[in-house]
């Protein structure tokens, strides 16, 4: 498959790729509260699909019908399960300055508003409740809207869900 070959070529050229986290998420990562991150799927599918699922380990597809697979929409993840990434604490931070590394252990796709309370907690919900958040879901909604905008939250886009664990620099 083409996406498999491209991923292999890219992995050889850039064996460690970056994932960026803001300061709040860095603190959650370092404290062990953050083990999942959601990232916007940049090429959103049309809403008239009938079937969806994984085509291979990094390509997700939406189909309008099983009779005509030419009517499909594909999204290719930048990461695969097993990939090790370095965490960028600021934009453009080079690998040489990285102190935190994660290994992607599972990838999923969902609509952003389908996040559960348990998943909000895994996203790094603060342990202290004195920050004015009513619930983990409200906290995550505010976090997402602060990054991508309220309009993005309201449009309920599909997102990549990356579950990860901290690891040593390879």
pLDDT given for residue 54 in this prediction: 85
Measured in degrees and rounded to the nearest 5, phi and psi for residue 8 equal -65, -45
Mean pLDDT by 10 residues, the chain (170 residues): 51 73 92 96 79 82 68 86 92 90 95 95 80 80 95 95 94
Helix, strand, or coil here: 36? strand
Q: Give CA–CA dist 116/168, Å, rounded.
A: 30
Alpha helices for the chain (secondary structure H): 2-13, 23-31, 117-122, 136-148, 150-155
pTM: 0.85
């Amino acid at each position: 498959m083409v996406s498999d070959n491209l991923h292999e070529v890219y992995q050889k050229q850039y064996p460690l790729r970056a994932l960026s986290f803001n300061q709040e998420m860095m603190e959650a990562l370092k404290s062990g509260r953050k083990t999942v991150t959601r990232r916007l799927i940049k090429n959103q599918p049309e809403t008239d699909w009938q079937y969806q699922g994984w085509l291979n380990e990094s390509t997700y597809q939406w189909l309008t019908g099983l009779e005509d697979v030419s009517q499909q929409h594909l999204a290719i993840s930048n990461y695969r399960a097993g990939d090790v990434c370095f965490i960028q604490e600021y934009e453009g931070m080079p690998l040489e300055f990285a102190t935190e590394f994660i290994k992607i252990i599972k990838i999923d796709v969902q609509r952003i508003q389908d996040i559960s309370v348990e998943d909000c907690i895994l996203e790094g919900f603060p342990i202290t409740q004195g920050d004015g958040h009513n619930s983990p879901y409200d906290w995550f909604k505010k976090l997402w809207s602060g990054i991508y905008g309220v309009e993005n939250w309201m449009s309920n886009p599909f997102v990549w869900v990356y579950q990860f664990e901290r690891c040593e620099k390879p």
